[in-house]
């Protein structure tokens, strides 16, 4: 027998824990976004690196300076600021001036997350709050798109312009498939949409890589499959019905899904657990709402793209949806468990 008893902990059961951690979830999201990120650098060159880095540093610095000193080290390690910065960057036009991207990162974390009370307390998706701010503040720069450059050393002069100096963007501008569709009723071949060789935001162009990343998240159990499936099915059904009415004006379902930011939004933005309902029925309602709003805005609104506003609107409805979709408790009839 031992000479002395070991000092025993009194940790309460369950003492077994699943090995998944919150920083682990964030790391999975970053890994899932890496193919798209690499593709955006491949397509848009150096300017993509500059814009993404500006967003991430804006997000990380804000997170760092607006956190109590004692928690600073930990807050950066949890990886959620990094994820927000990268997601924001991927929704921006490649030729956006870097200082704007940086400001977007600051707003995303500052107004999108910190003032709500930090990780887990925010109502709206922080990356989309940042993007909405940029779109409202710099509408010109945020809607100037360039065709993929095909050269790594591509760096439009606008990217590095000094703050508040730029009025005109001098990049070779191209129209996004959605813009072409909306304003000129001109389609884009499906294969180009699928592989991503079109004008658009950094991360929204390649459907294939976005789906690959999402598949990884699903396998790791980090994503509620109901949300992307619900959004994409609703969008396809809705736009399918419209294109049956008049195929010359309204886009086909496949075009609707693979153009613009719908895939990026449905797979990586709407699935943000903090801002979506955690009940299964709630997730379906949330997804259907986004799908309907996206097509409504795209087809009947003044803008070519509506994913951002659709998700932000449904974010606002999410707590209410969750409240009314609490599951039936075991051993109760459906009526008396609500």
Partner 1 sequence: MNLPNPFSFLERGFSHGVHPPHLKSQTEDRQIQRMPFVAEYVMPLNQHLGVPSKAVVEAGQSVQRGELIAEPGGFVSVALHSPVTGRVKAIADFRAADGNFSTGIQIEADNYSTQAIDANEPIDWQSLSTEAFIAEIQKAGIVGMGGAAFPAHVKFSIPDGSRIRHLLINGAECEPYLTNDHRLMMENSDELFRGAEIIRQKLGAEDTVIGVELNKPLAIQILRQRLPSGQPVRIVPLEVKYPQGAEKMLIKAVYGREVPAGRLPRDVQVNVNNVSTVVAIANYFEKAMPLIERVITLSGPGVTYPANLIVPLGTPIREVLAFCGGLREETREVVMGGPMMGRPVSSLDAPVVKGSSGILAMTEAGLLQKKEYPCIRCGRCVEVCPYFLNPARLARLSRVRRYEEMKGYHVMDCVECGCCTYSCPSAIPIVQLIRTGKDHLRRIKEPG
Binding site for partner 1 (CB under 8 A): 1-2, 5-6, 8-25, 74, 78, 80, 118-121, 219-220, 222, 224, 273-274, 278-279, 326-332, 337
Nearest-angstrom CA–CA distance, 232 and 290: 9
Q: What is the nearest approach in angstroms of partner 1 to the Cβ of residue 33?
A: 17
Among residues 74 and 160, whose Cβ is nearest to partner 1? 74
Q: CB of residue 325 vs partner 1: minimum separation in angstroms?
A: 11
From the CB of 26, what's the least distance to partner 1, in Å?
9
**C-alpha to C-alpha distance for 243 and 336, rounded to whole angstroms:** 44
Burial of 174 (0-12, 13-18, 19+ CB in 10 A): middle
Contact 151, 45 (CB under 8 A): yes
**In the complex, minimum distance from the CB of residue 276 to partner 1, in angstroms, rounded to a whole number:** 8
- Number of residues that this document lists for the chain: 338
Contact predicate 259/196, CB 8 Å: no
**228 or 253: whose CB is closer to partner 1?**
228
d(CA 209, CA 250): 26
CA distance 112 to 134: 13
- To partner 1, the closest distance from the beta carbon of 134 in angstroms equals 25
CB contact set of 229 (below 8 Å; sequence gap of 6+)? 287
Q: How far is the CB of 272 from partner 1 (least distance, A)?
A: 9
Q: What is the DSSP letter of 252?
A: P
Nearer residue to partner 1 within complex by CB, 77 or 249: 77
Contacts of 22 (CB under 8 A, 6+ apart): 78, 80
Measuring CA to CA, which residue among 102, 93, 92, 79 is closest to residue 31? Answer: 79
**Between 177 and 277, CB nearer to partner 1:** 277
Nearer to partner 1, 20 or 137 (CB): 20
Which lies closer to partner 1 via its Cβ, residue 140 or residue 328? 328
């Amino acid at each position: 027998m031992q000479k002395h008893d070991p000092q025993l902990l009194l940790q309460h059961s369950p003492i077994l824990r699943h090995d998944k951690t919150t920083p682990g979830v964030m790391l999975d999201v970053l890994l899932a976004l890496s193919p798209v990120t690499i593709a955006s650098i491949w397509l848009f060159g150096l300017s993509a690196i500059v814009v993404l880095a500006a967003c991430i540093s804006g997000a990380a610095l804000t997170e760092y300076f607006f956190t109590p000193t004692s928690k600073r080290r930990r807050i950066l390690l949890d990886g959620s600021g990094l994820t927000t910065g990268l997601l924001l960057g991927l929704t921006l036009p490649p030729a956006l001036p870097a200082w704007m991207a940086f400001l977007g990162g600051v707003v995303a974390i500052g107004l999108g997350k910190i003032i709500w009370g930090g990780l887990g307390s925010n109502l709206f998706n922080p990356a989309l709050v940042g993007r909405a701010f940029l779109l409202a503040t710099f509408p010109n720069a945020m809607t100037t798109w360039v065709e993929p450059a095909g050269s790594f050393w591509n760096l439009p002069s606008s990217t590095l312009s000094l703050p508040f100096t730029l009025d005109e963007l001098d990049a070779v501008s191209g129209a996004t498939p959605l813009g072409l569709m909306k304003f000129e009723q001109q389609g884009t071949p499906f294969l180009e949409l699928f592989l991503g060789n079109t004008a658009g935001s950094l991360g929204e162009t390649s459907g294939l890589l976005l789906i690959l990343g999402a598949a990884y998240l699903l396998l790791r159990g980090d994503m509620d499959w109901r949300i992307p499936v619900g959004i994409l099915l609703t969008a396809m059904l809705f736009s399918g019905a419209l294109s049956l009415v008049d195929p010359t004006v309204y886009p086909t379902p496949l075009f609707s899904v693979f153009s613009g930011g719908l895939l990026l939004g449905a797979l990586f933005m709407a699935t943000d657990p903090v801002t979506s309902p955690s009940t299964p029925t709630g997730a379906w309602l949330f997804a259907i709402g986004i799908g309907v709003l996206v097509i409504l805005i795209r087809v009947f609104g003044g803008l070519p793209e509506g994913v951002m506003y659709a998700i932000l609107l449904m974010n606002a409805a999410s707590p209410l949806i969750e409240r009314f979709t609490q599951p039936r408790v075991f051993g109760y009839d459906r009526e008396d468990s609500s």
